[in-house]
Amino acid sequence: MSAAAMTDSVPLLTVDDLVLDFRTRSGTVHVLDGISLTLERGEILGIVGESGSGKSVLAYAMMGLLDPAARVPRGGIRFAGRNMLTESERALAETRGREIAMIFQSPRTALNPIRRVGTQVQDVLLRHANVSKKEARTRAIEALARVRIPDPERRFDAYPFELSGGLCQRVMIAMAMACNPYLLIADEPTTGLDVTTQAVVMDLIRDQVRSANASVVLITHDLALAGEYCDRIAVIHAGHIVEIGSTEAMLDSPKHPYTARLIGATPGGHESIDDLASIPGSLPDLRRDLPPCRFIDRCDRKLDRCAVDPLPAVAIGADHLVRCWNPL
């Protein structure tokens, strides 16, 4: 990592005006449009939005894992002073696993079903930590123990199908944190887990990164989960970040109509299920030429200019931005 990236004054990760499209047989899909954000050292940033809003695509772009059909006509992603969109595949392969790691959405899919879980953790150490096979095994067992897997010496030799979903997710965390990366990207890390196991997994992620002074990008559709674990939250809708700010400000005083709708649709502070409010409509077809505001067809505060004028970035306090012509 460069010396500049290690200083507190320079963000660890910067996404600058990122535009990303996919070329398909049915036309160009405009997946991300003008995405900008920063991540500071030691910070947990939540990226929240509905399924299909572009959260996972953004995560893969941060990792330098883009489909051959992807096209980036504008913008960049800089991690530790390097542009992740222009680095060679060899350089990216060295960075991934050692400096940036990812917890994937489905651990049973991400783990190799025919290799023992401990061996898969060991492989990461052999690839990036410059250790012997014996030492890698010892450190892999220690990594399994750190994520509180019972009897880690025995579990080292287990196959993924022999473990519960929660234990498989712990193995994924152990793999991701094995080399103490500077940045951890967690893509829907609690999908498919029961509520109790979700809390255990998120506590483990938070404890692991805090102990290593690492940073986290938490990708989730669960605003309540982000509210509990994140320092800041970015709300994404149809490839736009519509609002970003401190967790307290976002939850106590949301300014974008979509953010307010998400909060209203989140279980937690309601007396009954009837108090939950649905979000009208659905995400727009990203193959069409879209208006500047992609939320316009679902918004009860829309103005005529929302359809024609580029969205402003309105500052609400020191660390709270909303992209809207008629914020709350």
Smallest CA-to-CA distance from 156 within 110, 119, 126 is with 119
Q: What is the pLDDT of residue 2?
A: 46
Q: Average of pLDDT values for 252-273?
A: 82
Q: Residue 274, Cβ neighbours under 10 Å: how many? A: 7
Q: Identify the band that residue 4 occupies on the pLDDT scale cut at 50, 70 and 90.
A: very low
* Three-state secondary structure call for residue 19: strand
Least confident of 21-25, 143-147, 315-319: 315-319
d(CA 79, CA 65): 14
Query: Which has more pLDDT, 76 or 266?
Result: 76
Q: Residue for token digits 């954000």? A: 37
Instruction: Write the DSSP string, 22-80.
Output: EEETTEEEEEEEEEEEEE-TT-EEEEE--TTSSHHHHHHHHHT---TTEEEEEEEEEET
Q: What is the pLDDT of residue 196?
A: 85
What angle is formed at CA 235 by the lines to CA 187 and CA 188, rounded to 5 degrees? 15
Strand pairing category for 44-48 and 215-220: parallel
Per-residue pLDDT tens for 166-190?
999 999 999 999 999 999 999 998 8
Q: What is the pLDDT of residue 127?
A: 93
Share of the chain above pLDDT 70, in %: 95
Per-domain boundaries in the chain:
1-99+185-196+206-269+276-292, 107-180
Amino acid at site 27: G
205, 229, 236 from 220: Cα distances, Å: 14, 11, 10
- Checking if the pLDDT of 76 tops 50, the result is yes
In sequence order, what are the residues at sequence separation of 6 or more whose Cβ sits closer than 8 angstroms to the Cβ of residue 8? 40, 41
- Checking if the pLDDT of 195 tops 50, the result is yes
d(CA 286, CA 196): 36
DSSP H or E segment with residue 100: strand 100-103
CATH architecture assigned to 1-99+185-196+206-269+276-292? 3-Layer(aba) Sandwich (3.40)
Per-residue pLDDT tens for 6-60?
556 689 999 999 999 999 998 999 999 999 999 999 999 999 999 999 999 999 9
